[in-house]
Amino acid sequence: MPEIDGYEVCQYLKSREETKDIPVIFLTAKSDSQDVIMGFEMGAQDYVTKPFNLKELMAR
């Protein structure tokens, strides 16, 4: 996303009463452990890195 990243979107959704319960799953090429930790700290329910298995993603 050019103007806002996924971490900011997740943090925004989790900070608002009307959207805080929407589950967020990151799907990204960023696989560094710091990136994964940041995703969970922002409130993500899961963090999936590319390449990914579609059946596994759907099961999540």
pLDDT in tens, 46-57: 999 999 999 998
pLDDT band at 1 (very low <50, low <70, confident <90, very high): low
The residue among 34, 28, 22 whose CA lies nearest residue 5 is: 28
Alpha-carbon gap, residue 37 to 44, rounded angstroms: 10
Q: Which residue has the tokens 């990914």?
A: 52
What sections of 16-59 are H helices per DSSP?
33-41, 54-59
Domains observed in the chain:
6-59 (3.40.50.2300)
pLDDT in tens, 5-51: 999 999 999 999 999 999 999 999 999 999 999 999 999 999 999 99
The residue among 55, 54, 30, 53 whose CA lies nearest residue 44 is: 30
Alpha-carbon gap, residue 44 to 25, rounded angstroms: 6
